[in-house]
Amino acid sequence: MGKGFAMRLMHLGYTVYSVGETITPAVDKGDIYFSISSSGESDNVVVNTKKAKNKDCHVIVVTSKEISTLAALAEKVLIVPGTTKGDDGEQTKSVQLLSSLFDQSLHIVLDALCLMLSYKNNISNSEATSKHW
């Protein structure tokens, strides 16, 4: 999960961890596990998502590929259209290199998700700001 997204969720009062950080505890049954991969095939993301699924986590995936290994593992899939590194020819949706379009679109989508959560949980900008260090 992108660190910016994780930080915004923390400012909204959620407890958030990122895989690979030294303070991250093991996932447990019922945890929400959020995976992001433009192709839906990133090896480390797929491996970690399988581990989370095997521990009965709720898996949410964000990808640009509805048909992918990662999407098949998810309870919920959020499709963010965008070119990925492996796209060629007619698959290419942007003149931007690699997955830049996906990355930019992802940032906007995740920011909108945080805004929706702030409305749902009645968190004001000043309250979120007070949790910012």
What is the pLDDT averaged over residues 77-89? 75
The two tokens of residue 122 are 């009645």
pLDDT for the residue 97:
58
**Quick check: 89 pLDDT over 60?**
no
H-helix or E-strand spanning residue 60? strand 58-63
pLDDT for the residue 28:
92
Please name each of the domains of the chain with its CATH number. 3-125 (3.40.50.10490)
Tokens 């958030």, residue located: 16
Q: Quote the CA–CA distance of 119 and 122 in Å, as a whole number.
A: 5
**Quick check: 25 pLDDT over 80?**
yes
Q: What is the side-by-side strand order in the sheet with 32-36?
A: 32-36, 58-63, 76-79
What is the pLDDT averaged over residues 38-47? 93
Does the pTM surpass 0.85? The reply is no
pLDDT for the residue 86:
67
